Each structure stands twice: as structure tokens, then as C-alpha cells.
Amino acid sequence: MKSLFINDKDVKTFTSINASLDPDRYLNSVYLAQITHIQNLLGSDLYERISNDIENDQLNATYRALLVDYIKPCLIHYSMVEMLPRIHYQITSKGIYKHRSENSDSASAEEVDGMIERERSAAQFFADRFVSYIRDNTSTFPEYLSNTGPDMHPDHTSFFTGIVLD
């Protein structure tokens, strides 16, 4: 597996995740958010450049700034979008279980949906900032526009408008 762009500390510092939650319970959501939302935003070439540079400990100051200032905040919130619907469940050899606490109430589906939408809105804010920044700096990050053939091309229009159906 390629390197994750954020770590356990990033997630716990910048979200409402409890510090005692085992990272194994949500790192799969971080990975899913990274390969779906973030790779779609960056395109294959820029995504691979950053991933390889992290893996080989060769991320220069320019790409590190892009990662820290634009990509990480977006990934943190997209990770929450992916994690919130899944965190209550655990799959074991004996089946699928939903966790319940003895001294607290579980959030309702409506409350969880509201949390997901707030996280999606935050992620979208950071995605929009990324697109605005990268469009003004394509000469600094040539990989953003260098995708060819079967490569995943970056989504230049990160803007999302949710539709509410009653």
C-alpha cells in the first residue's frame, strides 16, 4: 500500500475523533478517501509524485507546502465523510456487529447524516481552495496537467452542490 498523506495524529487533532480510538478502526476510511477523493482531485501524476516522494522521504519544500496547506485539510475531512457511516460497525469471523455504549446514547441516523454533510462541506471548502491554488500554480506543479491516456485526470471543477430530496 502506498503512503497515507495524513497520519493518526492529524486525524485526531483536526476532527472530533476521540484520542483513545484505535487507528485500525478508521485508517481504512483514510485510505479510501485518499484514493477516491484526493486522487480524483490531484490526478494520477501529481498523486503518484506526492505518494512516491513521501514513501522515499524526498518531499521537497514546495510539494510539502502543497500537501500541508491544501491536501491534508481536504483529506482529513473526506476521511471523516467515509468514516462516519462505518465507525459503528465491526466485521469479525462471527458476523457484523454494531457497537453500543452502556452509558451513552447512539446518534440517530439524521444526526450522523448531518455530521457527514458538515464534514463534506468542510472537505469541499478545502478542495475548492486547492483547485484555485493549483490553477494559479500549474508551472510549479507540472504533474497536475501531465496526465495522459488511461491516467486519472484531475477534476478541475471541485465544486459540489448537494441536492436535498424530501
Q: Which three cell numbers stand for residue 129?
A: 481552495
Phi-psi region of 43 (alpha: psi -120 to 50; beta: other; left: phi over 0): left
Candidates 66, 67, 49; CA nearest to 58 is 49
Residue 157: per-residue pLDDT = 65
Residues spanned by the domain of 39: 8-145
Q: Note whether residue 114 is domain-resident.
A: yes
Please write the tens of the pLDDT for every residue from 114-164: 999 999 999 999 999 999 999 999 999 999 999 888 878 887 665 444 554
Cα–Cα distance for residue pair 11/34, rounded to 1 Å = 13
Residue 21: per-residue pLDDT = 80
Classified as helix, coil or strand, 121 is helix
**Residues 131 and 37 sit within 8 Å (Cβ to Cβ):** no
* pLDDT of 89 over the 70 cut: no
Residue 75: per-residue pLDDT = 97
Amino acid at position 126, single letter: F
- The residue written with cell numbers 448531518 in the block is 114
Amino acid at position 33, single letter: A
Residue 112: per-residue pLDDT = 85
- Strand 95-98 and strand 89-92: the pairing is antiparallel
**Residues 44 and 61 sit within 8 Å (Cβ to Cβ):** no
**Residues 42 and 50 sit within 8 Å (Cβ to Cβ):** yes
Q: Note whether residue 160 is domain-resident.
A: no
Q: Note whether residue 37 is domain-resident.
A: yes
Q: How many domains does the chain have?
A: 1
Q: Note whether residue 16 is domain-resident.
A: yes
Candidates 72, 84, 62, 75; CA nearest to 17 is 84
Please write the tens of the pLDDT for every residue from 5-53: 998 899 888 988 888 787 787 888 999 999 999 999 999 999 999 999 9
Q: Note whether residue 96 is domain-resident.
A: yes
